[in-house]
Amino acid sequence: MTMKLIEEFEHHLNALEAALRQTQRWPSKAPSEAQLASTAPFAIDTLSFFEWLAYVFVPKCHQLIAVGQLPGKMAISPAAHMYAPDCPESILVQLLALDKLTERNKK
**In this structure, is the dihedral angle defined by the CA atoms of residues 16, 20, 26 and 31, taken in order, positive or negative?**
negative
Which pLDDT belongs to residue 1? 54
Is residue 43 assigned to a domain? no
Is residue 35 assigned to a domain? no
Range of the structural domain that residue 85 is part of: 3-28+48-104
Report the percent of the chain where pLDDT is more than 90: 92
Which pLDDT belongs to residue 3? 80
Which pLDDT belongs to residue 58? 97
Q: Chunked in runs of 10, what are the mean pLDDT values of the chain (107 residues)?
A: 87 98 96 95 95 97 95 94 96 97 78
Q: Are 15 and 94 in contact (CB under 8 A)?
A: yes
Is residue 34 assigned to a domain? no
Which pLDDT belongs to residue 104? 83
Q: State pTM to two decimals.
A: 0.92
Our count of domains for the chain comes to 1
